[in-house]
């Protein structure tokens, strides 16, 4: 019998063996896991400077940069603050802000 | 259809009749004839399967695992060093809950190099979570292969079918091959609910914290418990087709026996002959063949031995530092349940022949002895 | 809007890779190309963790976690299993670290390559055993610090030339690539996807944690590795036809690459010179093959 899984904000809820498949088979995706809390630094795109080259989008390892209306938009739920995007931006259009300051 | 064949070929034909879809194997004496025959069977188009000629036994079991994870029926065979090399992946197959059926020709572990019968290779895999059968005839090998797929695919646990090198692997016996149409009725295609499926993408075997790992073991244990009943149930279904029934234990003249031998593998067959001869001499003896050691048939054993006054276990294996493994297991089963004393005997280690007379000697010794002994190393030259 | 690599995202965020992890970049590109009709198998390595714990996954395609040394043959088994069930179009990808490839897994890889099984084997090379805490592997470059090659006994000996070992099997396709050049990498992945038989792609994937580098420099380092010739990128078809994908006109000194990484900090001038010489020598040998 396939386990019908219940989800809450944190993904799948398992109270015991009865909610589990016979083997460790996944029941949901990791994207409930908002990694924003990992961030010390915060990249901020200056859309005046941005030329929509999408280099930041291309390199984001998460990926936490989405394309919205043909522009790169950082999803701060998932951005881990590696600052790779800012480093690679050819127009220096991504500023660095220190989190919690 | 009746055919004479060696035990190894009974394994090959058992796989063929089970319509295995992926075979991955690596040669080792005395298993080689199993895979050679299967290569022929596949090449001749008598079986529609992929045969992956891997570069090691570790890879053989790994390839079977990969294939089984997609929902294909997978098979491999090995022996001794090969089985030991597979060890990590045997745990993997069991914990991933993949119903792979495999054959192991029981051969002594090296060094010194030996190709002769000894059960230490497969008993070292006892705790992997595989079901484990000791077959004692070529017919048993062929039939067990078919029945094991049926049981494995219901409880989602792999099965290891072991039998003695040469005494069985290379000995000709008459084997009744059921028509494949009958086998098809008995064994439907494998179609698991959890598998690698691009339309339902799941990961299998991810990092599992202490919050969940225990529960997976709990589920495995439940599956083993279910297997006890299923082996019997499917055994009866198989009997309807072939007239042959296989249980977890087979007792021979145990009902009124004073002394019961507990045996496995080919020694069990020799012991049946010894029992008949001893009975002619007026000695009330019986033989309890342990066919399945995992799941351990504790209740069946307790029932079979309940009327006897002495038990003599014969082990073709040793857990050095303690004693024979079947003896250990049996004593564990009796503890808290019964006071019947148990004598442990070692015989046949490293392929030494165990004859009817040896078994009769064991009977005499046990009848005479007052106090049970953990281990008596029969025939060891000091 | 002009994108140089496919827009589709299959890999999901929320995964557990460190900040600036090159290995997670590599996976993102691979799945963009291979798409949903793909099955992955991953042995013990950082990616066994990155994907997330039970009951979750981040890759969003079927994934079978496997034992450290088995990625290649696990893929062979999966491919065979799918084939016999008529699922012949599915891409089967073995995805492993350098340890699982250069060291413990090399036997199974050689076996699958010799059989020319129809799978793609991808190694993301972060040049050490990162999952277990930065121990040296045979992919660790000469001179590097790791936790088992402390600075007093830093790694001695060259990095194993894995792509040459693979091409010696005369497999249809072998290539090296770097996460700094996603367009080149994607082209290679696409190529591999359309070739039947055994494909091997070796991707340099910097690891800020293990290389002691700033996460923001992952692409910079992956680029410098190519520009300094310490990690040339090229392809080898059928073990014979070599193609250079990124021509380096004026190679940069290796110090340019080393200076952003803590793992080479201890190296004395003479040692750096020795490394520079060996890079130049290796490059001369390679250039003759193109
Ligand atoms: C047989 C076996 N030996 C050792 C390990 C421990 N182990 C797990 S991952 C790993 C290192 C992986 O290194 P690599 O393949 O380079 O991947 P990375 O972690 O760097 O991504 C080791 C040694 C294991 N899981 N299995
Ligand atoms: S800082 Fe890193 S994680 Fe955040 S958007 Fe930029 S590249 Fe992505
Ligand atoms: S240790 Fe290195 S390779 Fe592993 S997840 Fe972190 S950055 Fe990636
Ligand atoms: Mg590594």
**Protein residues with CB under 6 Å of any ligand 2 atom:** A 43, 60, 62, 64-65, 74, 79-85
* CATH number of the domain where residue A82 is located: 3.30.70.20
Q: Pick the closest to residue B123 from B267, B370, B319 (CA basis).
A: B319
The full 3-state SS of chain C, as one line of letters, equals CCCCCCCCCCCCCCCCCCCCCHHHHHHHHHHHHHCCCEEEEECCCHHHHHCCCCCEECCCCCEEECCCCCHHHHHHHHHHHHHHCCCCCCEEEEEEEHHHHHHCCHHHHHHHHHCCCCCEEEEEECCCECCCCCECCCCCCCCCCECCECHHHCCCCCCCCHHHHHHCCCCCEEEEEECCCHHHHHHHHHHHHCCCCCEEEEEECCCHHHHCCCHHHHHHHHHHHHHCCCCCCEEEECCCEEEECCCCCCCCCHHHHHCCCHHHCCCCHHHHHHHHHHHHHHHHHHHCCC
- Quickly name the fold that domain C22-287 has: Rossmann fold (3.40.50)
Distances (CA, A) of C44 to A16, B86, C68: 27, 17, 5
Segments forming the whole domain that contains residue B272: 250-377
> In whole angstroms, what is the distance from residue B305 CA to residue B188 CA?
37
User: B96 and chain A: CB distance < 8 Å anywhere?
Assistant: yes
Report pLDDT for B368: 98
Are B293 and B154 in a shared domain?
Answer: no
- Best probe of the A interface among B157, B219, B224, B225, by most A CBs < 10 A, is B219
Res A5: pLDDT: 55
Q: Domain check: are B255 and B238 in the same one? A: no
The runs of H, that is alpha helices, within chain A are: 55-59, 84-88
Inspect the interface and report whether the beta carbons of C37 and B205 lie closer than 8 Å.
Answer: no
CA of C62 to the centre of ligand 2 (A): 26
Residues in chain A, how many?
A: 101
- Note whether B78 and B90 are within 8 A (CB): no
Burial C47-70 (b: 16+ CB within 10 A, else e): bbbbbbbbbbbbbbbbbbbbbbbb
**Residue B146 shares a structural domain with residue B225:** yes
Tokens of B90: 């045997």
Interface check for A14 against chain B (CB to CB < 8 A): the answer is: yes
B237 and B254 co-located in one domain: no
3-state per-residue secondary structure call for chain B = CEEEEEHHHHHHHHHHHCCCCEEECCCCCCCHHHHHHHHHHHHCCCCCCEEECCCCHHHHHHHHHHHHHCCCCEEEEEEHHHHHHHHHHHHHHHHCCCCCEEEEEECCCCCCCCCCCCCHHHHCCHHHCCEEEECCCHHHHHHHHHHHHHHHHHHCCCEEEEEECCCCCCCEEEEECCCHHHHHHHCCCCCCCCCCCCCCCCEECCCCCCCCHHHHHHHHHHHHHHHHHHHHHHHHHHHHHHCCCCCCEEEECCCCCCEEEEECHHHHHHHHHHHHHHHHCCCCEEEEEECEEECCCHHHHHHHHCCCCEEEEEECCCCCCCCCHHHHHHHHHHCCCCCCCEEEEECCHHHCCCCHHHHHHHHHHHHHCCCCCCCEECCCCC
Chain B: give the shortest CA distance to residue A84, in Å.
28
Residues B97 and B158 in one domain: yes
The residue range of the domain holding A79 is 5-15+27-98
The mean pLDDT of B222-242, rounded to a whole number, is: 98
Domain boundary among B186, B219, B242: B242
How many Å apart are CA C258 and CA C49, to the nearest integer? 28
Say if A11 is an interface residue toward chain C (CB within 8 Å). yes
**Chain B residues within 8 A (CB-CB) of chain C?**
21-22, 24, 48-50, 52-56, 58-59, 62-72, 74, 88-89, 92, 196-198, 200-209, 212
CA C171 to ligand 1 center in whole angstroms: 26
In this model, does residue B70 exceed pLDDT 70?
yes
Q: Residue B259 above 90 pLDDT?
A: yes
For residue B382, being part of any structural domain is answered with no
Read off the pLDDT of residues A31-45 as tens digits, 9 standing for 90 and up: 999 999 999 999 999
- Whether B256 and B236 share a structural domain: no
Q: B194, B207, B217, B224: best mutation site toward chain A, by most A Cβ within 10 Å?
A: B194
| Number of domains comprising chain B | 2
- End of a domain among B188, B210, B242? B242
Instruction: State pLDDT tens for residues B29-66.
Output: 999 999 999 999 999 999 999 999 999 999 999 999 99
If asked whether residues B223 and B308 sit together in one domain, one would say no
Between the alpha carbon of residue A30 and those of residues A11, B300, C19, the distances in Å are 8, 47, 16
Per-residue confidence (pLDDT) for residue B358, from 0 to 100: 98
CB pairs under 8 A between A and C: 112
B356-371 pLDDT, tens per residue? Answer: 999 999 999 999 999 9
User: Which residue has the least CA distance to atom 8 on ligand 3?
Assistant: C21
Q: pLDDT tens across C144-173, in order?
A: 999 999 999 999 999 999 999 999 999 999
How many residues are there in chain C?
290
| Calpha distance C31→C178 (Å, rounded) | 16
CATH number of domain containing B270 = 3.40.50.920
Q: Taking Cα atoms as reference points, which of B236, B249, B171, B148 lies closest to residue B10?
A: B171
Segment among A97-101, C198-202, C212-216, C250-254 with least mean pLDDT: A97-101
What is the reported pLDDT for A12? 86
**Does the CB of B212 have a partner CB in chain A at under 8 Å?**
yes
C209 CB less than 6 Å from ligand 3?
Answer: yes
**CA max distance for chain C:** 60
- Report residue A4's pLDDT band, with 50, 70 and 90 as the boundaries: low
Whether residues B224 and B281 share a domain: the answer is no
Instruction: List all residues of chain A from 19 to 48 with a beta carbon under 8 Å from chain C.
Output: 20, 24-35, 38
Interface test with B, best of A18, A23, A29 (most B CBs within 10 A): A23
The total of structural domains in chain A comes to 1
Residues of A in contact with C219 (CB under 8 A): 59, 84, 87-88
Please say if the pLDDT value at position C5 is more than 70.
yes
B67, B190 contact by CB (below 8 A): no
Contact across the interface for A27 and B193, Cβ inside 8 Å: no
> Average model confidence (pLDDT) for chain C?
98
Q: For residue A86, list chain C residues with Cβ-Cβ distance below 8 A.
A: 216
A2 has a pLDDT exceeding 90? no
Confidence check: pLDDT of A6 > 70: no
Asked if C19 and A12 come within 8 Å (Cβ–Cβ), the reply is: no
Residue A65 falls inside a structural domain:
yes
The per-residue pLDDT for A3 is 55
Tell me: ipTM over 0.95.
yes
**Per-residue pLDDT tens for B302-333?**
999 999 999 999 999 999 999 999 999 999 99
Span C193-215, pLDDT tens digits: 999 999 999 999 999 999 999 99
Name the residue among B74, B83, B32 with its Cα closest to residue B50: B74
Q: Would you place residue C278 in the very low, low, confident or very high pLDDT band (cuts 50, 70, 90)?
A: very high
Instruction: Say whether both B187 and B291 belong to one domain.
Output: no
Torsion-angle region of B340 (φ positive above 0: left; ψ -120 to 50: alpha; else: beta): beta
B254, B332: one domain: yes
- Is pLDDT at A1 greater than 50 in this prediction? no
Mean pLDDT for A74-82 is: 98
Distance from CA of B203 to the nearest CA of A (A): 5
């Amino acid at each position: 019998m396939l386990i019908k899984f219940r989800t809450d904000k944190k993904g799948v809820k398992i109270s015991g063996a009865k909610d589990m498949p016979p083997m460790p088979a996944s029941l949901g995706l990791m994207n409930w896991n908002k990694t924003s809390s990992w961030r010390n630094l915060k990249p901020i795109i200056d859309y005046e400077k941005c030329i929509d080259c999408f280099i930041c989008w291309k390199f984001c390892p998460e990926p936490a940069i989405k394309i919205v209306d043909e522009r790169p938009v950082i999803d701060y739920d998932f951005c881990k603050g590696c600052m790779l995007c800012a480093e690679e931006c050819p127009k220096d259009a991504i500023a660095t802000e220190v989190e919690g300051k | 259809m009746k055919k004479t064949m060696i035990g190894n070929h009974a394994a090959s034909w058992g796989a063929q009749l089970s319509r295995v879809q992926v075979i991955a194997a690596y040669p080792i004496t005395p298993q080689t004839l199993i895979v050679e025959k299967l290569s022929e069977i596949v090449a001749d188009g008598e079986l529609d399967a992929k045969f992956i000629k891997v570069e090691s036994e570790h890879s053989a079991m790994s390839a079977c695992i990969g294939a089984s994870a997609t929902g294909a029926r997978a098979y491999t065979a090995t022996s001794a060093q090969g089985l030991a090399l597979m060890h990590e992946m045997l745990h993997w197959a069991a914990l991933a809950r993949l119903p792979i059926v495999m054959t192991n020709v029981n051969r002594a572990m090296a060094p010194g190099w030996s190709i002769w019968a000894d059960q230490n290779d497969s008993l070292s895999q006892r705790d992997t979570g595989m079901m484990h059968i000791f077959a004692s005839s070529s017919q048993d090998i062929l039939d067990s292969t078919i029945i094991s797929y049926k049981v494995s695919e219901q409880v989602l646990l792999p099965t290891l079918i072991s039998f003695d090198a040469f005494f069985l692997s290379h000995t000709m016996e008459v084997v009744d091959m059921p028509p494949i149409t009958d086998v098809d009725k008995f064994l439907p295609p494998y179609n698991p609910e959890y598998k690698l499926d691009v339309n339902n993408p799941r990961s299998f075997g991810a990092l599992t914290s202490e919050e969940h790992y225990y529960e997976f073991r709990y589920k495995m244990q439940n599956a083993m418990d279910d297997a006890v009943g299923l082996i019997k149930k499917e055994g009866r279904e198989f009997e309807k087709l072939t007239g042959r029934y296989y249980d977890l234990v087979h007792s021979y003249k145990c009902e009124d026996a004073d002394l019961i031998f507990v045996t496995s593998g080919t020694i069990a067959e020799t012991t049946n002959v010894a029992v008949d001869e001893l009975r002619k001499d007026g000695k009330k003896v019986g033989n309890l063949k342990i066919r399945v050691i995992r799941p351990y048939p504790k209740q069946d054993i307790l029932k079979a031995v309940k009327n006897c006054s002495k038990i003599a276990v014969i082990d073709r294996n040793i857990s050095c530092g303690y004693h024979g493994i079947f003896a250990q297991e049996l004593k564990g089963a009796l503890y808290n349940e019964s006071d019947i004393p148990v004598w442990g005997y070692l015989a046949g280690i490293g392929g030494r022949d165990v004859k009817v007379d040896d078994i009769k000697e064991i009977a005499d010794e046990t009848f005479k002895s007052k106090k049970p002994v953990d281990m008596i190393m029969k025939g060891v030259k000091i | 809007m002009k994108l140089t690599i496919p827009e589709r995202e299959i890999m999901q965020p929320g995964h557990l890779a460190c900040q600036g992890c090159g290995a997670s970049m590599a996976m993102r590109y691979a799945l963009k190309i291979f798409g949903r009709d793909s099955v992955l198998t991953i042995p013990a390595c950082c990616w066994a963790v990155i994907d997330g714990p039970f009951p979750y996954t981040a890759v969003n395609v079927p994934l079978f976690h496997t034992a450290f040394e088995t990625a290649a043959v696990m893929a062979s088994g999966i491919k065979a299993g799918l084939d016999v069930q008529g699922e012949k179009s599915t891409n089967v990808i073995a995805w492993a670290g350098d340890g699982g490839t250069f060291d413990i897994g090399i036997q199974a890889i050689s076996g699958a390559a010799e059989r020319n099984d129809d799978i793609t084997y991808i190694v993301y090379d972060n040049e050490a055993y990162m999952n277990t805490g930065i121990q040296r592997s045979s992919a660790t470059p000469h001179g590097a610090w790791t936790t088992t090659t402390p600075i007093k006994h830093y790694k001695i000996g060259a990095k194993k030339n894995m792509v040459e070992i693979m091409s010696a099997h005369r497999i249809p396709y072998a290539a090296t690539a770097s996460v700094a050049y996603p367009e080149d990498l994607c082209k290679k992945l696409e190529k591999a996807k359309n070739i039947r038989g055994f494909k091997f792609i070796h991707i340099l994937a910097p690891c800020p944690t293990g290389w002691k580098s700033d996460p923001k420099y992952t692409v910079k380092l992956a680029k410098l590795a190519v520009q300094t010739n310490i990690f040339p990128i090229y392809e080898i078809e059928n073990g014979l036809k070599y193609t250079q994908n990124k021509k380096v006109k004026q190679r940069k000194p290796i110090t340019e690459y080393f200076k952003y990484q803590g793992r080479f900090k201890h190296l004395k001038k003479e040692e750096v010179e020795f490394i520079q010489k060996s890079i130049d020598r290796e490059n001369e040998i390679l250039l003759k093959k193109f």
